A and B are shown apart, each in its own frame.
Chain A
Amino acid sequence: MARMKFLCDVERCIDCNGCVVACKEGNQVPVGINRRRVITIDEGKPGEKSISVACMHCSDAPCIAVCPVDAIYQREDGIVLVNKKTCIGCGYCFMACPFGAPQFPSGKVFGARGAMDKCTFCAGGPEETFSDEEKRLYGQNRIAEGKVPLCAAMCATKALMAGDANVVADTYRKRVFARGSGANAWGWDKAYGKK
């Protein structure tokens, strides 16, 4: 079974936030919840780097370990999903996640948090595939259609790649061979005469 992974090429990411908008719009994510976000370090300085991050769909997911109601599960292809009907909104998954992926809508009853929402790798949820229920709760199920997630599909520079881990790794490797990395990337050595 293919293991699905994200890989954001920091040499290519230009902090356009196209992935963020694509995800929010395509999945009709409510206001206040951001499944994906772009982090930039050293902004404006030499060595500025941006990376697009969402749920990492970890192999030994800490969110799965801490959920008191076992609402989070992992598919065979590695995609981690939440069952919103089981989730009680306790927030333990948010505290356990190193990446802050779980998000919570403001609740209706006494301001309690609603059920957890996060990046689904555009793989829907436990409901029946392509059903209205699934679309309403989790957004699009592009993996079942054989397409890559919206964020990777819309990436302006194809910095963000998502899909079969082997294919993604191969693509990245070819890129690095073609352009070099670090000091040698894109011929900086020619531009400034330094290695």
Chain B
Amino acid sequence: MNRKKHFRFILPVGVLLLAGVAWAGSPQILLSPGSEPSTASFAAINKVFTGDWQQYGQLFTSLQGGLFNRIFLLVLTIVPVVFLLHYIIIGAKSFSHAGTPIKFFGILTRFLHWLAALSFSLLVITGLMVVFGKFLGGGALIMSGRSVHLIAAIVFCLSAAGLFLIWLKDMLPMPHDILWLFIMGGYLSKKKKPIPAGKFNAGQKMWFWLATIGGGVMAWSGYNLYSFAAPTDQLRQMAILHNFLAAGLVAFFIVHLYMSLFAIKGSLTSMLTGYKSQEEVAILHSRYKI
């Protein structure tokens, strides 16, 4: 009689105890040393050892392994071809030299622009040397390219900072910039009608902001990549950012080269002498008040 009574008491308590143990997981006190399977320790070691790689390591490896090269190759082939077609179909715009030339760029501006242009070109060339290193044989040539990339980056940052301060006011977005975008600055037609733009048009503004802010981001990520200053997983993110932004900058750089060297006759001269012709300003920068 007693046994049955005890049994009715012990069984639920026993079940509750087991349930409690199961619910609590495996409290340490119930374990003897080495009671887990040895593969469990490999899983624990893995977390300490490779944990971060699960975040961006895989993404970085697949992007750098297969995508970046191709993006750069596309940019370097398609963008020039598109503008070659533009030159063939629409051609350059030229303006008469009649009237007093209008001062656009002072001596400091021009000096800083050409310093930035030289350093930026070196950055692009040495950067592409790293991207396509295997086709150039790697080794000491590319390694010295990295050092040139560093020096050029410092020179660019200083000159771009100067240009940023000089041009900031004129590069602020204006309502008429939207009108400019709608007609793509009039570059899709051979006609010469007054274009809605101030001292700088929307296209120039886009390039300005991309090159200065984008250049700053490149410098910051580049610094971290060069010196390995950030934690590893952040370095991976920065490498991805640096590559994507670089592709964008190279594409826009080619556009800038085309526009300033080929599409608008006299624009190179204006950056050398500082003066633009009356007609050019009246047409391309019709809202510019001298």
Contact = CB atoms under 8 A, between A and B. Distances in A.
Nearest to A100: B232
A169 interface: no
B45 interface: yes
Interface string A60-88: 00100111111100000000000001111
Interface in B57-84: 57, 60-61, 64-66
Contact of A66 (B28, B33, B64, B138): B64
A181 B133 contact: no
Contacts of B225: 91
Contact of A99 (B38, B50, B130, B133): B50
Contact of B44 (A42, A53, A112, A192): A42
Interface residues of B, number: 47
A70 B65 CA distance: 11
Q: Is the interface of B mostly helix, strand, loop or mixed?
A: helix
A65 B65 contact: yes
Contact of A41 (B48, B60, B131): B48
Contacts of B146: 88-90, 112
B226 interface: yes
Q: Is the interface of A mostly helix, strand, loop or mixed?
A: loop
A99 to B, nearest CB: 6
B49 A99 contact: yes
Interface in A90-105: 90-92, 94-96, 98-100, 104
A24 B131 CA distance: 33
A70 B138 contact: yes
A69 B239 CA distance: 16
A44 interface: no
A62 B60 CA distance: 10
B49 A182 contact: no
Q: Which of B60, B137, B144, B146 has the most CB of A within 10 A?
A: B146
Interface residues of A, number: 45
Contacts of B33: 46-47, 188
Nearest to B235: A95
A39 interface: yes
Contact of A96 (B49, B57, B133, B142): B57
Nearest to B143: A88
B147 A110 contact: yes
A110 B134 contact: no
Nearest to B146: A112
A48 to B, nearest CB: 9
Contacts of A182: 34-38
A194 B32 contact: yes
Interface of B: 28, 31-38, 41-42, 44-45, 48-50, 53, 57, 60-61, 64-66, 130-134, 137-139, 142-147, 150-151, 225-228, 232, 235-236, 239
27 contacts: A39-B49, A41-B45, A46-B28, A62-B65, A65-B64, A65-B66, A66-B60, A66-B61, A68-B131, A68-B138, A69-B134, A69-B137, A70-B134, A87-B139, A88-B142, A88-B143, A92-B239, A95-B232, A95-B239, A96-B57, A96-B64, A99-B49, A104-B228, A109-B147, A113-B228, A192-B32, A194-B35
